[in-house]
Amino acid sequence: MFRRRERVSDPVTIWFCDRAIEAAADDSVAAALLAAGIACFGRRPVSAAPRAPFCMIGNCFDCLVEIDGETNLQACLVPVRGGMRIRPYPGYEPGNDIKMSEL
Amino acid sequence: MSQDTSTDVVVVGAGPAGMTAASCLAQSGVRVLVLDEHMAPGGQVYRSVEKVTDKRSADLNVLGSHYRNGSKLVERLHSSGAQYWPGTSVWEISAAGEPTLAVGVVRDGRVRLIQAGHIILATGAMERPTPFPGWTLPGVMTVGAAQTLLKSSGLVPDGRIAVAGSGPLLYLYVSQLIKAGKKPQVILDTRPRASLQAKLSVLAALTVDPASMFRGLGWMREVRREVRVRERVHRLRAGGVEKLSSISYESCDRQFTDDVDLLLVHDGVIPNTWLAMSAGCRHHWHVQQRCWVPTITGAGQTSRQSVSVVGDAASIMGADASVLHGEAVASEVIACLEGKQQNAVGNAAHPFLVRQQRLLRRCLDQFYPPAQEFELPPDDETIVCRCEEVTAGQIRQVATLGCVGPNQGKAFTRCGMGPCMGRKCGVTVSRLIAEHHGLGMDEVGHYRIRPPVKPITVAQLAELEIDTDAHTA
Amino acid sequence: MRHLDIAVIGGGLLGSAFAYGLSADGGRVGLIDEGDHAIRTARGNFGLVWVQGKGLSMPDYARWSRRSAYAWTPFSEQLHAQTGISVEYHRPGGFYVSLDEQEFADNLALLKQLRNEAGEDGYDYEIVERSALREQLPEIGPAVPGATYCPHDGHANPLKLLRALQEGFQLNGGVYTPRAKVTRIAPVTAGGFEIHCDGGHRFGCDKLVIAAGHGSVELGHHLDMEIPIFPVQGQVVVTERAQMTMAYPTNYVRQTDDGNYLLGPSARDVGFNDETETTTLRDITRRCTTAFPHLKHLRVQRTWAALRIMTPDGFPVYLQSEAYPEAFSFSCHSGVTLAAVHATDVSRWVLDGQIPSRYRCFHPERFNVPA
């Protein structure tokens, strides 16, 4: 969906599930994931429909992720840090349709 | 003001209004603490301006000359003596009945209360909700989101892109995108034919602020030259499985379907009132701008004595007017802290500039009216509450049952109970209920907003400390 | 002016239950309500349908609560059948959890006394020490010494209940009029009452039920009824949805069918202030995470403060006007637990025109207020 205008001069590696992603040191987590082509940051609690960032300024809460075990973080507001481990929140893997109430 | 307060003034937000108010106050000797949820000052309009200026000059050309104004404001803030805390979210303001005025913040994963003598809310604007079928699909984002990605990370959209809605930001962004070497496939302009009133307001605005007007008209001309524009777009729908793959719409009585990878939507901006509402500040419906605004006396005084609002959070005024407003509100707050009455009438300092901004704003409001179909989604299946997936039909259903306001609607449908707390659905729900019952928006009212206005966990709340001196933290 | 057989003033949990129950009888029933921005205590309920611990010094109230708990099953089934709305009533029994030894001892002493007062009637509860408690509530915190279990306890969704009652009421032919705050009630010489509201609404009715929450105090005065109720503020913390793990409701925490946890309780004497207060919210989370540490990582989705209806002894206030026997007023703080008997028994009292003498125990004369 998005690509970088320039090559990353100071790359850091972050992880989304088991996937290593090259991010720029000053990216937000959301920007880094979008630049890597991640299209699903988690699932909605009612229908398990996929969600991804909508507003990028901390108002839509569709970018909520889990980072290094801490949950409910808005990916658009959190800067990346090398080695960060990011997972969709709540804990659905992309493509997994299990609803919260079925877990 | 008691000696226990940890700071004189807390400013929430570091956009042009917040930076200016904080700088003025600090330079007058007031202790100021600026709380910014972003990692560097600039707000949205000047997002990442320091970083872009220092490290990404190619992007500076793309973003345009107006963007560079942000650097001066940031420099002023840094040299003013105001304390600045980045990466800090505000999740509550203490209730009016409490003995001390305090702000609840989250910083470095910890929650604390900071006491203040006065609070200035510079929380800026957010994009107007634009519900239509399929808008919750990954691949549908706001124009503002795309522009933020450009400013903060130098990202441009890839693949086939459509842009829908109206408003100066839409045309500004597309012109920036063209400069960056990427053209959308199509722009879907949702405006009706311009009314006579709108055309006259353009003429009026041209006479008072030709620079801004030519700049804006310049973006439009450039964009329309390079990109296909469809006019009077209706019945926009986004389709796809798991993510966006196509859109359909009507334009001038013809039906269209396009394959797209990304749809960017924008229908103007509205004040971000959530913190002010949670603080119990009175709000009313601004008929011209079609949004909730805090009820203000003087320059920025809300219905709560120690809480002021400044900039777009007070009413949509744009970056330049926000700077002027920041100066006016700072003077007012200084007078308030000194126990004096402010006797200036509004922004008496720059009456011509104020009038200029007001005329420009009226022109923009009339030239870019919000799309009727986003305000009142015609299809019952349209999701209104993204968080809880409540549809327009369900809202209409409870309105028929007798819900006369959004809070009963929330109780009956869960609409507004998700993490966004109604930021993306509140205006739509109130409009739907108002329309159903033939009521005015002030009669219907808005959601009752409670803390936490930003996410905190049960553990963070349980571990709460009360901070008596922010400056030693 | 609209004529009604019975007018119910107040669209909260009590008023809606009465309106629903009364409308089932076939007469013309009207439910007169304020608008969206009023005190609306009904929006602040925890959702317990609770029996244990109730009725100290008034065994009649213990019996009344238990009666309602068992009436809840057919009541919720009927609502579901009629409206399609499930109010999510479950009665797995409930645990009253104690956070330390003193609280545990105090609770056991209370229950023992309640059992003594109940005599032959019995008062059902079991003492559950920590080791046994962990089998039923695996997330119970390490500091908790134990709990008491009552098989009659359960929980429901109070917001769905309110909606279902109003839908059922309207399906029965009842008429709901919101944005109609009652300003005056005038008895009519020939019988019945005239009700005047702001917004210009007027109603005539043969019978009248005042169930307007805190508004009942002022309305009661129009008909020489003294209704001794006052506000007690309660706050609630609601978490995001989580995996369904808590199979039982407890006094501190319950998990809804949607997966959210509700954390409570609290009580503050702050008049008609319905703003949340930070240290109260913090104290709620501290107590609840002592009881259930696994709640810690969950997001606080929202908080709420509501002005509960409290009477001087905590028991309901039910009365019929002496001067105007067609007028009734009912107030209580357990609007969820008692919803079932309100929709059935109490509605029947109104239709029959009299509160049975065995329920005179709920008359406010017990506080020595003038009738």
CATH number at residue C288: 3.30.9.10
3-state secondary structure of B394: helix
In a domain, C190, yes or no: yes
Token code pair at residue C50: 């609770």
Task: Identify which of C247, A57, C351 has the alpha carbon closest to the alpha carbon of residue B126.
Answer: A57
Q: How many CB pairs under 8 A join A and C?
A: 21
Domain boundaries, chain B: 3-126+270-344, 129-267, 376-439
Instruction: Say whether B104 and C278 touch across the interface (CB within 8 A).
Output: yes
Convert chain C into a string of H (helix), E (strand) and C (coil).
Answer: CEEEEEEEECCCHHHHHHHHHHHCCCCCEEEECCCCCCCCHHHHCCCEECCCCCCCCCHHHHHHHHHHHHHHHHHHHHHHHHHCCCCCCECCCEEEEECCHHHHHHHHHHHHHHHHHHHHHCCCCEEEEHHHHHHHCCCCCCCCCEEEEECCCEECCHHHHHHHHHHHHHHCCCEEECCCCEEEEEECCCCCEEEEEHHHCEEEEEEEEECCHHHHHHHHHCCCCCCCCEEEEEEEEEEEECCCCCCCCECCEEECCCCEEEECCCCECCCCCCCCCHHHHHHHHHHHHHHCHHHHHCEEEEEEEEEEEECCCCCCEEEECCCCCCEEEEECCCCCCCHHHHHHHHHHHHHHCCCCHHHHHHCHHHHCCCC
A72's enclosing H/E stretch is: strand A70-74
Cβ proximity of C188 and C206 under 8 Å: no
Per-residue pLDDT, B472: 35
In a domain, C100, yes or no: no
Per-residue pLDDT, B3: 33
In a domain, C270, yes or no: yes
% of chain C residues with pLDDT over 90? 96
Per-residue pLDDT, A98: 38
A-chain residues near B59 (CB < 8 A): 5
- d(Cα A83, Cα B127) in Å, to the nearest integer? 33
Instruction: Say whether A100 and C242 touch across the interface (CB within 8 A).
Output: yes
Of B94, B97, B403, the CB nearest to C273: B97
Tell me: do C269 and C175 sit in the same domain: no
CATH number of the domain located at residue range(s) B3-126+270-344 in this protein? 3.50.50.60
C-chain residues near B405 (CB < 8 A): 35-37
Residue to test with chain A: of B12, B111, B142, B149, most A Cβ within 10 A: B149
Matching fold, domains B3-126+270-344 and B129-267: yes
Per-residue pLDDT, B109: 87
Task: Identify which of C50, C73, C38 has the alpha carbon closest to the alpha carbon of residue C343.
Answer: C73
**Over residues C107-131, mean pLDDT:** 96
B-chain residues near C258 (CB < 8 A): 414
Say whether residue A96 is in contact with chain C using an 8 A CB cutoff.
no
Band of residue C370 on the pLDDT scale cut at 50, 70, 90? low
Per-residue pLDDT, A95: 35
- d(Cα B429, Cα B81) in Å, to the nearest integer? 43
How does the average pLDDT of chain B come out, rounded? 91
Residue to test with chain B: of A26, A47, A57, most B Cβ within 10 A: A57
In a domain, C24, yes or no: yes
Measured from the Cβ of residue B358, the count of other Cβ atoms closer than 10 Å reads 14
Distances (CA, A) of B60 to B56, B71, B142, B149: 7, 11, 22, 14
Per-residue pLDDT, B121: 98
List Cβ<8 Å contacts ≥24 apart for C310-314: C310/C229, C310/C230, C310/C231, C310/C232, C311/C228, C311/C229, C311/C364, C311/C367, C312/C228, C312/C367, C313/C57, C313/C58, C313/C366, C313/C367
Query: How far does B398 lie from chain C, in Å, by closest CA?
Result: 9
Task: Identify which of C64, C88, C33 has the alpha carbon closest to the alpha carbon of residue C345.
Answer: C64
Per-residue pLDDT, B183: 95
In a domain, C75, yes or no: no
Say whether residue C240 is in contact with chain A using an 8 A CB cutoff.
yes
Instruction: Say whether B157 and A70 touch across the interface (CB within 8 A).
Output: no
Per-residue pLDDT, C141: 97
**Across B2-11, B291-300, C25-34, C142-151, least confident range:** B2-11
Quick: pLDDT tens for B148-176: 999 999 999 999 999 999 999 999 999 99
Number of domains in chain C: 2
Instruction: Say whether A59 and B423 touch across the interface (CB within 8 A).
Output: yes
- Touching partners of B (3+ C-beta pairs < 8 Å): A, C
**Over residues C73-102, mean pLDDT:** 98
In a domain, C185, yes or no: yes
Of A3, A62, A64, the CB nearest to B386: A62
pLDDT higher than 80, residue C178: yes
Q: Token match 């046994």: residue? A: C132
Tell me: do C165 and C183 sit in the same domain: yes
Measured from the Cβ of residue B289, the count of other Cβ atoms closer than 10 Å reads 21
Instruction: Say whether C259 and A101 touch across the interface (CB within 8 A).
Output: yes
| Cβ-based neighbours of C245, under 8 Å, separated by 6 or more | C138, C139, C255, C294
Tell me: do C336 and C297 sit in the same domain: no
The correct answer on CATH 3.10.20.740 for the domain covering A12-91 is: yes
CATH number at residue C178: 3.50.50.60
Per-residue pLDDT, B350: 62
Tell me: do C253 and C299 sit in the same domain: yes
Query: How far does A5 lie from chain C, in Å, by closest CA?
Result: 36
Query: How far does B6 lie from chain A, in Å, by closest CA?
Result: 26
pLDDT higher than 90, residue C49: yes
**Across B145-149, B219-223, C63-67, least confident range:** B219-223
In a domain, C138, yes or no: no
B-chain residues near C178 (CB < 8 A): 402-404
Query: How far does A55 lie from chain C, in Å, by closest CA?
Result: 20
pLDDT higher than 90, residue B292: yes
Of B398, B404, B462, the CB nearest to C285: B462
Instruction: Say whether A55 and B144 touch across the interface (CB within 8 A).
Output: yes
Cβ proximity of B245 and B100 under 8 Å: no
Of C33, C163, C298, the CB nearest to B458: C298
Nearest chain B alpha carbon to C241: B418
A22's enclosing H/E stretch is: strand A19-24
Token code pair at residue A47: 């229908």
Instruction: Say whether C241 and A72 touch across the interface (CB within 8 A).
Output: no
Per-residue pLDDT, A93: 36
Measured from the Cβ of residue C294, the count of other Cβ atoms closer than 10 Å reads 17
Fold of B129-267: FAD/NAD(P)-binding domain (3.50.50)
B-chain residues near C281 (CB < 8 A): 451, 461
In a domain, C109, yes or no: no
Tens digits of pLDDT across chain A (103 residues): 899 999 998 899 999 998 999 999 999 999 999 999 999 998 888 888 999 999 999 999 999 999 998 888 999 999 999 999 999 987 433 333 333 333 3
Per-residue pLDDT, C284: 98
pLDDT higher than 50, residue B145: yes
Per-residue pLDDT, B341: 58
Q: Which domain holds residue C198?
A: 2-46+159-228+313-367
Burial C208-231 (b: 16+ CB within 10 A, else e): bbbbbbbbbbebbebbebbbbbeb
The better pLDDT of the pair B465, B63 is held by: B63
| Cβ-based neighbours of C87, under 8 Å, separated by 6 or more | C76, C79, C80, C156, C157, C160, C161, C164
Token code pair at residue C181: 């705050």
Say whether residue C243 is in contact with chain A using an 8 A CB cutoff.
yes
Instruction: Say whether A1 and B158 touch across the interface (CB within 8 A).
Output: yes
B-chain residues near C83 (CB < 8 A): none
Per-residue pLDDT, B467: 52
Tell me: do C234 and C276 sit in the same domain: yes
Task: Identify which of C246, C244, C265 has the alpha carbon closest to the alpha carbon of residue C254.
Answer: C246
Maximum Cα–Cα distance across chain B? 69
Chain B, 75 to 114: residues with Cβ < 8 Å from chain A are 87, 89, 109
Cβ proximity of C33 and C14 under 8 Å: no
Cβ proximity of C14 and C335 under 8 Å: yes
Quick: pLDDT tens for B18-58: 999 999 999 999 999 999 999 999 999 999 999 999 888 88
Quick: pLDDT tens for B82-117: 999 999 999 999 999 898 999 999 998 889 999 999
Tell me: do C209 and C167 sit in the same domain: yes
How does the average pLDDT of chain C come out, rounded? 96
Domain boundaries, chain A: 12-91
Residue to test with chain A: of C86, C241, C255, C257, most A Cβ within 10 A: C241
A-chain residues near C243 (CB < 8 A): 100, 103
CATH number of the domain located at residue range(s) B376-439 in this protein? 1.10.10.1100
DSSP state of B305: T
Of A70, A71, A100, the CB nearest to C259: A100
Token code pair at residue B258: 């396009």
Among C310, C332, C352, identify where a domain stops. Answer: C310
**Over residues B179-201, mean pLDDT:** 90
Query: Which residues of C fall below an 8 Å CB-CB distance to B?
Result: 33, 35-37, 40, 42-43, 159, 162-163, 166-167, 170, 176, 178-179, 237, 239-240, 258, 263, 270, 273, 275-279, 281-282, 285-286, 288-289, 295-305
Nearest chain B alpha carbon to A78: B87
Say whether residue C238 is in contact with chain A using an 8 A CB cutoff.
no
Ranges of H-type helices in A1-103: 29-35
